[in-house]
Structures are given as structure tokens and as C-alpha cells.
A = this chain, B = another copy of it.
Amino acid sequence: MKIQLALDRMEISEAIELTRKVEDSVDWIEVGTSLIKEFGMASVGEMKQAFPAKTIVADIKTIDNARYEFEMCFEAGADVATVMGVSPLVTIEACMEVAGRYNKTVMIDLLNTTEHQKRDLMKYKNAVFCEHVSKDQQEELGASNHGVVDKNLYGPDMTIAAAGGITLDSLDSLRKTLNPSIVIIGSAITKAENPAEAAAKFKCVEAK
């Protein structure tokens, strides 16, 4: 199980400073959508420059203009970029094509994606599938439940990620149900009193 650190709602300099404190405990570093929309591709470029050995995920949440956005992310230094599962299939197809050309990875964000749409996406076997309870669903509804996901949709070799309000407490049940290859942790690390300690604890649970 890999830990992806999600960086959101902060300055680029804060993101770099915070990541320095926790980098030994995390595997992938996500430049959050809020950083991209606030600061543009500079956020991706500066994070890759600061952490060249890490896998950088650009959470660009593409839903159109796929070639342009994905090329922009990979040119800026991203190793993984995200596309919405609710996009038209032609958009996801274009993301896969660009990622293949750059030898990079597509993460399909399944936020609000129906079972029916998911079935259509299962042909993209090289993608990472991110089961995602959105920030707004967490904050407005208090929801952070990945328990309802039908794991049978996925083939045995497919890569699953999980995002949305994951804490040390919820990680254990998540392993028992969805058992994702990648867990995406945001505020449970970034807003912890001691982020290095919090990240180290996730690393311990993950290594169990």
C-alpha cells in the first residue's frame, strides 16, 4: 500500500515546506486541484523540482480539453494526472493516449461516477481507479464512507486508490473492504499538530 500525500488549500511554499517534513513517510505527492487552480502549472513544476525522486500527481481533474491539459501536466513534471470518471469517454481515451505517449499514468477520479459509467471505464486497465468521497460530501454531509464500493467491478490486476477523509482510524476498515493499493491522505497529515508524526503513523499502519 502506497501513501499519496494530498496538498490542498495552501501556498506552494507551504506545500514544499510541509512535504519536506513528511517525505520519508509518503510515496506519492499530490499537487491538489486547489493549488493548480490557484497557482497554475507552476505548482506542479515547483513540486517536481523540489522532490525530483518522488512520483508527482497533478490532480488536474480534467473533464474536457484532455490532450492540452495532460500534455501541460506532463511537461510541467507530473508523473500521474487525473481525469474525471464522469467525463465523456473520448476525454478519458485522449488522456490514456497522451499518458501512453509520455510513459506516464492516468488516475481516473470516480467522484460521483455511476456504476454504469464505471463499467465502461474498466477497459482502461493501465489506469489507477480512485474511489473518491469528495471534500464537499464530507463537509456538507459528513460522509466519508468507502464501504459501499462494489470491489467486484475490478479485475485482480487493476490498481485502486481511495481518497476522501481517510484517517488512521478508518484505514484499517478500508484495508479490509476496498484494500486499495494507494491511500490518499490529506488533512489527516497536513492539518495534524505534528505532520511528521502523523505521516509516520500512517506509514507504520501501511507497512503492517
Q: Which residues does A use to contact B, with CB under 8 Å?
A: 8-9, 33-34, 36-43, 60-61, 63-66, 68-69, 72, 84, 86-88, 90-91, 93-94, 111-112, 134-137, 140-141
Given contacts A40-B42, A86-B112, A112-B86, whether A65 and B137 have CB atoms under 8 Å apart is no
Interchain residue pairs with CB less than 8 A apart (8) = A33-B64, A63-B111, A65-B136, A87-B112, A88-B137, A90-B136, A91-B134, A93-B140
Copy number of this protein in the oligomer?
Answer: 2
Contact A72 B33 (CB under 8 A): no
The 8 lowest CB-CB distance pairs between A and B, nearest first, are A40-B40, A90-B140, A64-B134, A86-B86, A39-B40, A91-B136, A90-B136, A65-B135
Q: Could you tell me the distance between the alpha carbons of A34 and B70 in the complex, rounded to whole angstroms?
A: 11
**CB-defined contacts of A63 to chain B, threshold 8 Å:** 61, 63, 84, 86, 111-112, 134
